[in-house]
Amino acid sequence: MIIWHVAPRSIPAFDLALMVARATALVHGAFREGVVPPDIPLGELTAMDLSHLARCIEVRYCNVVLPEEYTFWSAWGDYQRWPLDMSPPPPVNTPEEPQGMDVWRERFHEVVYTTLLMGAVFARAYNQPFYPPTTRASPSGEEADEGAEACRQEHLDLLRKASASSALSYFGIGEAERDYLGRFPVFDLDDARGGQRETFGPFIEWFIRSVILQHQADPPKSSRDLLLCDEARAARDGQEDLPCLCSQDWPDTGGFSQWFSGGSLAEGEAVLWRLMQLIHMFEFILTCIENADGKPRLGREWWWWKRSARSFPGNTRTIRLVLFGVFQAEEVVMPDDIMEAVHQQLLAHGPRASDSAASVSPPNLDIPLVLENLYLRSGIPNKGVAGEYNRRYNLPPPPLQIFTFILRHHFNLQIHRGAFNTHVKEYQDYHYFKSRATIFANGLDQVLDRNWADCTNGTEFLVEYQPPTLRYSPPVFGDETENPRTWFPM
């Protein structure tokens, strides 16, 4: 029982880490047995390797020597992940005063664990269409019909072919398969059938409640809402450049949490800040892990220098994970010395199913591939139309639907329509958002020498929700794999 006295003091966000460990174990057990992952009641989930993983992610995040794709040029200069006024970056020096690094690390680790928890919680929803009807019920509660089973088999055949030939960009989804997937709310990207509330609702309820309880126990000392920041408003009113494209479309009065109905304005601001941290962290964790065999799979790129299996030179640890956005049981190898994670990505190995499960487990299941092609090439609306000239813009690509659902239904907000542009080769708002470390930092009231633009909370990319006019546009020839989520400025 000593762990219950020591671990909460030595592992940031220990309770969340324990929830992730339990939820992940349930999903891995299901994959080994060849059955669809179970529903996970969050109320019943209440970890040392998870802490080590979070520390590996932290040192990668805090490393100031960044790959070229994580830096970019804008009117504000050559930005990197960490605020330019803090050098060297953590953990060498403390970015926060007066609390020091502890408050930053606590926020960071909480979001790491919540993101990992989401992977386990939603594994069932994203895997369900690909399992035979003997291991699951249809979304309506009835056994899947013959047509649905034929679509499932067709999907698995396509996945096998795509995996065998590495021709991922040519994987297509026919009309029948698209309609079959649309029966499952997470693949109904525009929520045309209205099923996302039932699927996302239990997690969202837990998420909002947990953030509000934490806020009530330890409220922040200053606001992080740009609409409540006099300096930010003055910059906008003075027509000064802001580090985003949407500042002129911000609400004229009130804060970003003014439409939140689940609590006070301050509680809404806390929930919104954590939500933006979740989106940011979900994207960053995906960049920290590559396939151990170097092959292009599960949304991870293939490069010529990764043709053979990779390994760490020293001692290693292995942890079982289910990543949000990948939704597969994986074993991830980490270096025992966390500083080695600065220079090499963590290595993911696929699940090892039991012999009895070999006949029912879907082989080569690549859910990121399905989601990308559903968004780009299936005929489902992937564009919005707005403006004087009816210009088309990219809608948020999957699996961002749970985040956009929370923004719309709980805050009356949306990510600005220009955030996912892929036609301005030097700039993209969403890429900028993924590159900002200040989303975990204290505000101006506590770090007076910091520029206001270096203590935002991600809401600078949000605007009031406006129902879009939906359209579908296929990828431009030559850009068949141009996913706005993974695109970065040239």
3-state secondary structure of 318: strand
Which of 147, 141, 211, 156 is CA-nearest to residue 180?
147
Nearest to 87 by CA among 478, 437, 463: 437
Does 37 score more than 70 pLDDT?
Answer: yes
Q: How high does pLDDT run on average in the chain? A: 75
Rounded Cα distance between 269 and 226, Å, is: 11
Structure pTM?
Answer: 0.82
**DSSP alpha helices (H): ranges in 80-145?**
101-121, 123-127
CA gap 122, 125 in Å, rounded? 5
- Percentage of residues of the chain with pLDDT beyond 70: 66
Residue range 333-360: mean pLDDT, rounded: 75
Q: Is 451 helix (H, G, I), strand (E, B) or coil?
A: coil
At 361, which amino acid appears? Answer: S
Q: What is the mean pLDDT of residues 65-73?
A: 40
pLDDT (average), residues 468-488: 78
Least Cα distance to 441 among 152, 29, 147, 94 occurs for: 94
Stretch 100-107: mean pLDDT = 75
Range from 81-90, 170-179, 249-258 that averages highest in pLDDT? 249-258
For 300-400, where are the alpha helices, taking DSSP H only? 367-377
pLDDT of residue 390: 74
What share of the chain in percent tops pLDDT 90? 22
Burial, 279: exposed, middle or buried (Cβ in 10 Å; 0-12, 13-18, 19+)? buried
CB 144 within 8 A of CB 131: no
Mean pLDDT of 236-254: 62
What are the pLDDT digits (tens) for 151-180? 777 777 776 666 555 554 555 677 878 888
Residue 426 has pLDDT above 70, yes or no: yes
Q: Is the pLDDT of residue 69 over 90?
A: no
Are 439 and 283 within 8 A, CB to CB? no
pLDDT of 204 reads 96
**Cα distance between residue 187 and residue 181, in whole Å:** 6
CA distance 473 to 475: 7
Average pLDDT over residues 446-465: 71
442 Rama class: left (phi>0) / alpha (psi -120 to 50) / beta:
beta
> Taking 90 as the threshold, does the pLDDT of residue 202 lie above it?
yes
Kindly indicate the confidence band of residue 319, based on its pLDDT and cuts at 50, 70 and 90.
Answer: confident
Q: What is the DSSP letter of 294?
A: -
Decide: 349 and 292 in contact? Cβ < 8 Å.
yes
- Can you tell me whether residue 393 is helix, strand or coil? strand
According to the model, what pLDDT value does residue 82 have?
47
